[in-house]
Amino acid sequence: MLEIEGLTRRFGDTTAVDDVSFEVREGMLTGFVGGNGAGKTTTMRMVMGVLGIDAGEVRWAGRPVTPQDQRRFGYMPEERGLYPKQRVLDQLVYLARLRGMADASAREAAERHLERFGLADRATERLQALSLGNQQRVQIVAALLHGPTALVLDEPFSGLDPVAVDAMADVLREHAAAGVPVLFSSHQLDLVERLCDRLVILAAGRVVAVGDADELRARGPLRYRVVLDADTGWLRDVRGVHVVDVDGPTALVEVVDDGAEQVVLREAAARGTVREFTPVRPALADIYREVAAR
Ligand SMILES: Nc1ncnc2c1ncn2[C@@H]1O[C@H](COP(=O)(O)OP(=O)(O)OP(=O)(O)O)[C@@H](O)[C@H]1O
């Protein structure tokens, strides 16, 4: 398990990361979300040891992380950082060898991964000849080649087409299933919601929420969709609920006072047939907006 404990980093007067703590557990995909400048990249850089820490600690397998541990992690930095003029396969083999792989197994792993990401026929081209999306795929391969013990990926899905997004998602799931802790940042909340076992939401350098998608949704407002035979305008006069939307026989109400939904249901039944009365779970994007704005 990767443990981030009280990490803090300042740049001049700005505290970019402020006492951030969370865990990236084995077998789980942990999504790291937060608005621009929230501190995700700075946190990931500290986890990887490429940026100094002002306070706090990164722990791996129950003890302070070492550079040797970090060398075995798979990292996809925000700045990417492959060599534009070097040929794809040569570059991947070179990077894998830096991480301790023998030449033959590095080459075999690189070819296998390139095939997986649909790049087998581009292996001998220079990186700069590839589209940005394909360069991104190569970057992903570079992070995966050496059989990483943990994955720390900064926006791995950005710029990928839907086919590559699926390939990437499969690869992350496979690594998680094999027991590798996976942390990735993303602005694509729908994707995060679909993929992640756990989410860490950062705002202005601080962790504002941690949990699985259901736990986070449960923190959101409790809403009910009400569909009757007749107009639902009367709901505006029911105490303890806030009417979010009314459209003829259909309404969306938010429960403000505990148990007020029972009043709504009773009153609705007293007025005729209740066609629908269902709780509406907020989308992760709504929860995100709420916690990030606090
Ligand atoms: N090298 C640096 N020097 C000065 N300030 C920095 C540096 N790196 C980051 N910052 C500041 O730290 C804060 C957090 O930035 P960071 O890049 O970690 O956020 P982020 O969550 O990754 O944002 P984004 O989603 O836009 O990539 C920002 O205010 C940023 O301007």
Report the Cα 127 to chain-centroid distance in Å: 27
Instruction: List pLDDT tens digits, range 237-278.
Output: 999 999 999 999 999 999 999 999 999 999 999 998 999 999
C-alpha 39 to ligand 1 mean position (Å): 6
Residue labelled with tokens 């569909």: 227
Tens-place pLDDT, residues 22-67: 999 998 899 999 988 999 999 999 999 999 999 999 999 999 999 9
Residue closest to 148 by CA, chosen among 24, 237, 37: 24
CA of 38 to the centre of ligand 1 (A): 7
Residue 80, Cα to own-chain centre: how many angstroms? 18
**Residue 51 alpha carbon, nearest atom of ligand 1:** 1
Residue nearest to atom 31 of ligand 1 (CA): 37
| pLDDT given for residue 294 in this prediction | 62
Report ipTM for this prediction.
Answer: 0.96
pLDDT level of residue 151 (50, 70, 90 thresholds)? very high
Q: How far is the CA of 16 from the centre of ligand 1 (A)?
A: 6
For residue 131, the surrounding DSSP H or E stretch is none
Give the distance (Å) from ligand 1 centre to CA of residue 41: 7
Q: How far apart are CA 290 and CA 294, in angstroms?
A: 7
pLDDT at 92 over 90: yes
Atom of ligand 1 nearest to the CA of 45: 18
Please name the residue that has the structure tokens 């699926």.
166
Q: What stretch of H or E contains 48?
A: helix 40-48
Confidence of residue 282 (pLDDT cuts 50, 70, 90): confident
